[in-house]
Amino acid sequence: MKRMKRRDFLKKAIKVFFSIIAAAVLSVFIYIYPSKIKERRLQFVYIMDEDDLPRKGIRKVEFQYKADDKEVANRVFLAAAGGDLTAFSSVCTHLGCLVNWDNNKKEFICPCHAGKYDMNGNVIAGPPPKPLTRLPLKIEDGKVYVGIKI
């Protein structure tokens, strides 16, 4: 077997050393990345009785549900027009703040960066890239459920 030159040995040793460092840095990032990420599933949550549904205009509905033993408060907007009922998520599609309905201007306004949506959830001003998310609604035995990802 040919003997290795000292210079070559050192070169190799340095390569090994930096590979170990790289592996260590990589494992640090793997360590920091959350190990258990809960998968969100669509679940229907009770929000109100059918009799209370709005006939016309926009209604803000606040409700609570339990997830992981924690009480979570949420709100959706119900838009009623000509017999059609749509549920909008209140989460702004820009960076996740909660929008409000301005009844005088007839538009949804996000308090964070002044994103504006019209009655149908379409963007009319500001930075939001997408219209407001429409949520599935379910009515069973006179009770209204909204589908949200929990």
Partner 1 sequence: MGKIFDWIDRRFGVKEPHKKFLQRPAFGMPEKVNYSYCLGGMSFIYFLMLVCTGLLLSMYYVPSEKEAFKSVAAITNDVTLGWLIRGLHKWSANLFIIFIMLHTIRVFVSQAYRPPRELNWMAGVLGLVIAMASGFTGYLLPWDQKAYWATEVGTSMFGTVPFIGDYLMRFVRGGLDIDGATLIRFYSMHVLFLPASMAIILWAHFHMVKRQGIAKSL
Where along the sequence are the contacts to partner 1 (CB under 8 A)?
29, 32-34, 36-38, 40, 94-97, 112
Q: Among residues 24 and 32, whose Cβ is nearest to partner 1?
A: 32
| Smallest gap from residue 99 Cβ to partner 1 (A) | 12
Nearest to 124 by CA among 134, 135, 115: 115
Q: Among residues 1 and 32, whose Cβ is nearest to partner 1?
A: 32
User: Checking phi first, is residue 28 left (phi over 0); if not, alpha (psi -120 to 50) or beta?
Assistant: alpha
| Smallest gap from residue 96 Cβ to partner 1 (A) | 5
Q: Are 146 and 136 in contact (CB under 8 A)?
A: yes
Report DSSP state, residue 119: T
Q: Among residues 1 and 30, whose Cβ is nearest to partner 1?
A: 30
